[in-house]
């Protein structure tokens, strides 16, 4: 299978993760005018499963290092299956809440608050699991990211004073989703051997771990998303008849969103051996800054904001950028 051999390349992969995780929600925004997020989410999940399988059968089945994708699936023990699958279930519940928050509050709020919280808590959880990197610099970077989250929430609160939408619902969904999101990577990482060239028996290598993780998302979606369809956080209930009545183009937009996200997930897991789980996860969750950029500058979610609100947004970007630089430096 394809294996990264240097820290520098691992950082590049983490940056690609950051771009993918911060950009996939644009597909939801594109579909939002004609397609409810609960319906979009089914196609998004299908995209994740398809890409994880394609990566497993290609990158995961070439080269001489490690174990091939299919052989890895055959030798893994039940504990590894349960950990990776559970990671998918936890992620799915968390992500549905974050996607609902995007539908209510927008990308520039839901991502920095929800995924930013996931970054902070996830780095702590993953660092405790695998202590790699300078802890002082690492957690200083995490502290700056935390400050960015607070600044973004304050900016949203200022903007929402002029809006008919209550800020509490979007923020609460984002915070709850972020809390759950901080845990999923730990479960996937615990299902894998962090020596990819000579993986431990019974444990997954990256490609098989991501595939089983994606199956956890798919299976749990029949429960979580069905509930959301029947009891939506906003708007009237939707049903499966409406989903199957959708045009092929609108379905492909959702599938594309899942593919983009899964490229990021796969690259993050592939980079974990060289970068360490805490740094790999932390850099990937710098997606909050990317999503905020899309929300502020492309989708104009803060259009009409006063000078004080714009200053808070600018300070948020500065804190995020410095925080991410420190996270990278902590692992070097």
Q: What is the pLDDT of residues 12-38, one digit of tens each?
A: 999 899 899 889 889 988 888 889 989
Q: For residues 144-169, give the mean pLDDT.
A: 70
Q: Could you give the percent of the chain with pLDDT greater than 70?
A: 93
What 3-state DSSP class applies to 192? strand
Instruction: Look at residue 164 and tell me whether its pLDDT is greater than 80.
Output: no
Q: How confident is the model at residue 332 (pLDDT cuts 50, 70, 90)?
A: low
State the Cα–Cα distance between residues 174 and 163, nearest whole angstrom: 18
Q: Which of 66, 62, 69, 16 is nearest to 266 (CA)?
A: 16
Q: For residues 70-83, give the mean pLDDT.
A: 97
Q: What is the pLDDT of residues 211-241, one digit of tens each?
A: 999 999 999 999 999 999 999 877 899 999 9
**Residues whose CB is less than 8 angstroms from the CB of residue 87 and which lie 6 or more positions away in sequence, other chains included:** 184, 185, 186, 187, 188, 191, 213, 216
Q: pTM for the whole thing?
A: 0.84
Per-residue exposure over 214-233, b if at least 16 CB sit within 10 Å of its own CB, e if not: bbbbeebbeebbeebbeebb
Q: What is the pLDDT of residues 266-284, one digit of tens each?
A: 999 999 888 887 778 777 7
Q: Which of 105, 222, 82, 85 is nearest to 155 (CA)?
A: 105
Chain centre to alpha carbon of residue 78: 25
pLDDT at 270: 93
pLDDT at 7: 87
Q: Which of 94, 256, 122, 263 is nearest to 183 (CA)?
A: 122
Q: Out of 95-104, 184-193, 232-241, which region has the weakest mean confidence (pLDDT)? A: 95-104
Strand partners, 192: 204
Instruction: Look at residue 185 and tell me whether its pLDDT is greater than 70.
Output: yes
Task: For residue 204, report the phi and psi dihedrals to the nearest 5 degrees.
Answer: -80, 160
Instruction: Look at residue 74 and tell me whether its pLDDT is greater than 90.
Output: yes
User: Between 128 and 50, where is the model more confident?
Assistant: 50
Q: What is the pLDDT of residues 286-319, one digit of tens each?
A: 777 787 788 778 777 777 778 888 898 899 889 9
Residue found under tokens 């019974």: 202
Q: Where are the domains of the chain?
A: 7-331
């Amino acid at each position: 299978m394809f294996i990264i051999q240097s820290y520098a390349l691992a950082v590049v992969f983490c940056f690609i993760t950051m771009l993918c995780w911060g950009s996939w929600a644009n597909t939801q925004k594109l579909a939002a005018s004609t397609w409810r997020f609960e319906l979009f989410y089914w196609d998004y999940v299908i995209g994740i499963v398809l890409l994880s399988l394609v990566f497993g059968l290609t990158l995961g089945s070439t080269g001489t290092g490690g174990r091939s994708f299919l052989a890895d699936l055959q030798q893994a023990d039940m504990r590894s299956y349960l950990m990776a699958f559970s990671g998918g279930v936890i992620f799915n519940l968390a992500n549905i809440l974050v996607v609902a928050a995007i539908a209510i509050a927008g990308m520039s709020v839901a991502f920095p608050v929800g995924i930013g919280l996931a970054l902070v808590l996830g780095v702590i959880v993953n660092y405790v699991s695998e202590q790699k990197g300078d802890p002082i610099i690492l957690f200083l970077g995490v502290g700056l990211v935390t400050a960015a989250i607070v600044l973004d929430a304050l900016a949203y609160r200022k903007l929402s004073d002029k809006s008919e939408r209550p800020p509490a619902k979007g923020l609460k969904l984002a915070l709850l989703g972020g809390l759950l999101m901080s845990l999923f990577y730990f479960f996937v990482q615990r299902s894998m051997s962090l020596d990819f060239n000579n993986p431990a028996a019974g444990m997954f290598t990256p490609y098989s771990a991501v595939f089983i993780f994606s199956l956890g998302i798919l299976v749990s979606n029949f429960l979580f998303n069905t509930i959301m369809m029947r009891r939506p956080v906003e708007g009237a209930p939707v049903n499966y008849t409406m989903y199957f009545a959708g045009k092929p183009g609108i379905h492909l937009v959702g599938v594309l969103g899942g593919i983009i996200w899964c490229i990021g997930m796969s690259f993050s897991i592939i980079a974990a051996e060289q970068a360490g789980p805490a740094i790999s996860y932390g850099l990937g969750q710098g997606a909050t800054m990317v999503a905020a950029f899309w929300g502020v500058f492309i989708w104009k979610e803060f259009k009409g904001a006063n000078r004080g609100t714009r200053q808070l947004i600018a300070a948020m970007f500065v804190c995020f950028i410095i925080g991410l630089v420190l996270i990278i430096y902590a692992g070097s």
